Chains A and B, each alone.
Chain A
Amino acid sequence: MSYAGTNKGGTAAILAAERLADERRHALAADGVDIEQAIAAFPAALDRIMGEAGLWDERLAATAFVQASGDSAEAVHLLRAHRSTLPRLAISEPADAAKMQIVRRIVPAHRSPDGPQLLGETVDFTARLLRAPGAPDPLPLAGETDTTEPTKYADEPFRRYSQFLRDRGLLIERTDRADPEPFDLAMTPPQLPAARSATLSAMSLSETGGLISLWYRSVLGPDGYADESVTLGEVRRGRLRVDVRHPHTGNPVTIGEIRVSETEAISHLDERGEDPSQFDAGYGLVLGHNERKAIAMANMDLAATRYGATPEGQLLQQLIMMTTDGLASNGFLEHLKLPHYVTFRSMMERAEAARAVQDAEQDSVADAVTAVVHDDAPLDERRQKVGQPA
């Protein structure tokens, strides 16, 4: 049995397959899987989906997550499809990440930076022991705790770590005046060489696992783009206001708030040809609370900027622009499941034709050898007949 596209006998099979997927959706609705519950229960999954879709809407993300049975790639696909139908009504004012309301901020590069080391809510220190919801902790929290009241800090202005280095004259200047506006990936296809705003946009929208894998490969793999000795200057999570200009008054008005994760990755410029009195800082900012992606982004931004003038850096730009988008990579992979009967039949025919030619050649060589072996001519002539030097 086989199936083919519509009108070739495959329509019934396709409809039946779609009906099976539909039944699951209806069963979920009948079980009362509630969007509000999904928002409350799976914030990390939804933040990741919204970041990869490039659309901030928790209810829509939860709807996509439930509809996709928790498959984040499928949920991202649903959201991107929806996003493509939405009108663009305004372009926001540039959001200053320094105005973020910080819920977590750590500076791995320095014990006592300006401002707080604020661990916030994190599973960084959690023993990874499974337990049922509501069950007692098999390994209860214990240990001496400091009873002194922690210092109170306002949100910024305090110096971020890159500024601390800049104030000491230790940070290389990377401002690119030729790249004043953010690159709009929704309207402009990826181009090479890519401006920094383009690689940053691509990574911000990239698939989390794909970007982390690209970073890890470039640390431990054969490519060697990223630097193993990178230190994180800032890792932050928080809430950021989004302002647009009012269409009538022209004044900025706040239309909502997004969660973001922000990272600075810092590296000492100590390679051949670099200025060892300088550090370089890469930047990562992603929608939602998704530290892993922001950290991978900052590391890859650092590598793409640091090596941007070299052939390796240009290859890295190509990897970032062309291979990190989850919708593109998953879509290309999924298409392999579609019928390829005609193209593959054509390959089969070429292989069979090549085999026929090889068989014919072998037969004629065998005939020639047989003829030569049974030939009474002198040895040199017999050699010539099979193409050997006399």
Chain B
Amino acid sequence: MPNGYAAAHLPMLALTDLMTPICSLDGSPLGHVEEVGIVTGAPVAELGAAQWILAADPAPTKPYADALRGLAGGSPLSPESGAVICQQVTTIGDEPGADPAHELRLTLTGPGIARAIVMYVSGLAAAYFRERAELCAAHPVGIDLILIASDGAIAAIPRTTEIVSVTETTPTNQPMETYR
């Protein structure tokens, strides 16, 4: 990506077109959703009508709660109209990273995962995943999530994946907050 553009733009550029309304989740100056629309032909829509959502601003403290609740989740007959979020984060890894103070340890289960896998994400608040869990509770309605780190690492978390625990790690790796 050119300088000044978060890597979260890349899946938007690759996967949106005339048939996929797009919107920015946070309205942050880092998200150039209009430019994505010019390049791919995707129409820029209101949050609740958009299918692909650009969240270009990694925000460790922002819960995004209102914005997430405003997303289209689809319906039981049309689950495909649930939104996909391209969420910028700082790091993604399967090992604890360099900055454990701002890292979440996620444990994922669900279709396609043999038992459970653990991943570490920095640049998002634990509350973000609580909102996501609520939005995905009434399957098949829900949202799909693509996390993109600035180094290009990517993790796609479909609505069928259950995040069974989110733990904020500390420098000594002691759990501070856990849910579920």
Contact = CB atoms under 8 A, between A and B. Distances in A.
B41 interface: yes
A180 interface: no
B38 A91 contact: no
Contacts of A91: 18
A87 B38 contact: no
Contacts of A88: 17-19, 41
B142 to A, nearest CB: 21
B19 A187 contact: yes
Interface in A64-104: 87-91
Interface residues of B, number: 7
Query: Counting chain B CB atoms within 10 Å of each CB, which of A87, A88, A247 scores highest?
Result: A87
B150 interface: no
- A contacts with B: majority SS: loop
B167 interface: no
B160 interface: no
A133 B38 CA distance: 52
Interface string B1-34: 0000000000000001111000000000000000
Interface string B42-70: 00000000000000000000000000000
B19 A89 contact: no
B161 interface: no
B49 to A, nearest CB: 16
A87 B36 CA distance: 14
A242 to B, nearest CB: 15
A247 B38 contact: yes
B107 interface: no
Interface in A236-272: 247
Contacts of B19: 88, 187
Nearest to A87: B17
Nearest to A248: B38
Interface of A: 87-91, 187, 247
Interface of B: 16-19, 38, 40-41
8 tightest CB-CB pairs across the interface, nearest first? A87-B17, A88-B18, A88-B17, A89-B41, A88-B19, A90-B41, A89-B17, A89-B18
